[in-house]
Amino acid sequence: MKVKVFNKDGAETGRELELNDEVFGIEPNDHAVYLTVKSYLASQRQGTHKSKEKHEVSRTTKKAFRQKGTGGARRGSMKASGLKGGARAFGPKPHSYDIKINKKVKEIAKKSALTYKAKDSNIIIIEDFKIATPKTKDFVAVLKSLNLTGVKSLYVVDGGDLNTLLSARNIPSIGVTEAKNLNIYDIMNCKKLILTEAAVKSIESNFSNN
């Protein structure tokens, strides 16, 4: 598949980039995408929820009333879960929500997500460029030239570009990431995927031989 290459001013460069079919043109695997997104979202949970059990509640163990004749159950402690201020029965405990997904499944999921973006013409290739100083308005101008103002997009660069990251972080509709950190959720959670030429090469080199 060939995709036109644009410059940062939104103009066509007259060049086209051939996307590798091993990465951007496979038969999508929806179940792999589902499992990998589910795993990613689960790993974002902290799992630190905790309620106090009976042995952790600080309340008196003095016998509250006589053993018999009250018509109620025997109670030798005020820590019981049935009492106000008592322990919680079968409460949550800290644990990990991580779901193990095989590396091959993750790779198939990423390729499937990239294929969907390519088939739907939601991939934009842009020439490599650097922002000299971190200014939000400079990056806003780039988005405006590409007709992406207000469009939920993900901008992928090849290497660490601190100025671009700083320029885009205050724009709610855009995310910026490096090709090596590209994950399935970010791909599926955006409308347009903006890739620099170097980022395309990096993505293809990571996945085309797997």
Q: Looking at residue 119, what is its pLDDT?
A: 94
pLDDT band per the 50, 70, 90 thresholds, residue 207: confident
148: left (phi over 0), alpha (psi -120 to 50) or beta: alpha
pLDDT (mean) for 83-92: 89
> What is d(CA 116, CA 154) in angstroms, rounded to the nearest whole number?
15
Lowest mean pLDDT among 15-24, 73-82, 91-100, 183-192: 73-82
Q: Looking at residue 209, what is its pLDDT?
A: 55
> What is d(CA 91, CA 113) in angstroms, rounded to the nearest whole number?
39
pLDDT at 99 over 80: yes
Are 194 and 171 contacting, i.e. CB atoms less than 8 angstroms apart? no
Burial class (CB in 10 A: 0-12, 13-18, 19+), 2: exposed
pLDDT band per the 50, 70, 90 thresholds, residue 210: very low
| Phi, psi dihedral angles at 204 (to 5 degrees) | -65, -35
> What is d(CA 8, CA 59) in angstroms, rounded to the nearest whole number?
67
pLDDT at 87 over 70: yes
pLDDT (mean) for 185-203: 93
Parallel, antiparallel or unpaired: strands 12-18 and 192-196: unpaired
CB contact burial 132-170 (16+ within 10 A = b; e otherwise): eeeeeebbbebbebbebeeeebbbbbbeebeebbbbbee
Complete domains list, the chain, with CATH = 2-46+99-207 (3.40.1370.10), 51-91 (no CATH)
Model pTM score = 0.81
pLDDT at 8 over 90: no
For the chain, the average pLDDT equals 90
Percent of the chain with pLDDT over 90: 61
pLDDT tens, position by position, 18-77: 999 999 999 999 999 999 999 999 999 999 999 999 889 998 888 888 888 888 888 878
pLDDT (mean) for 105-124: 95
Residue located via tokens 């159950």: 73
Q: Looking at residue 208, what is its pLDDT?
A: 64
pLDDT (mean) for 95-124: 95
User: What is the C-alpha radius of gyration for the chain, rounded to an integer number of angstroms?
Assistant: 27
Q: Looking at residue 30, what is its pLDDT?
A: 96
Amino acid 166 reads L
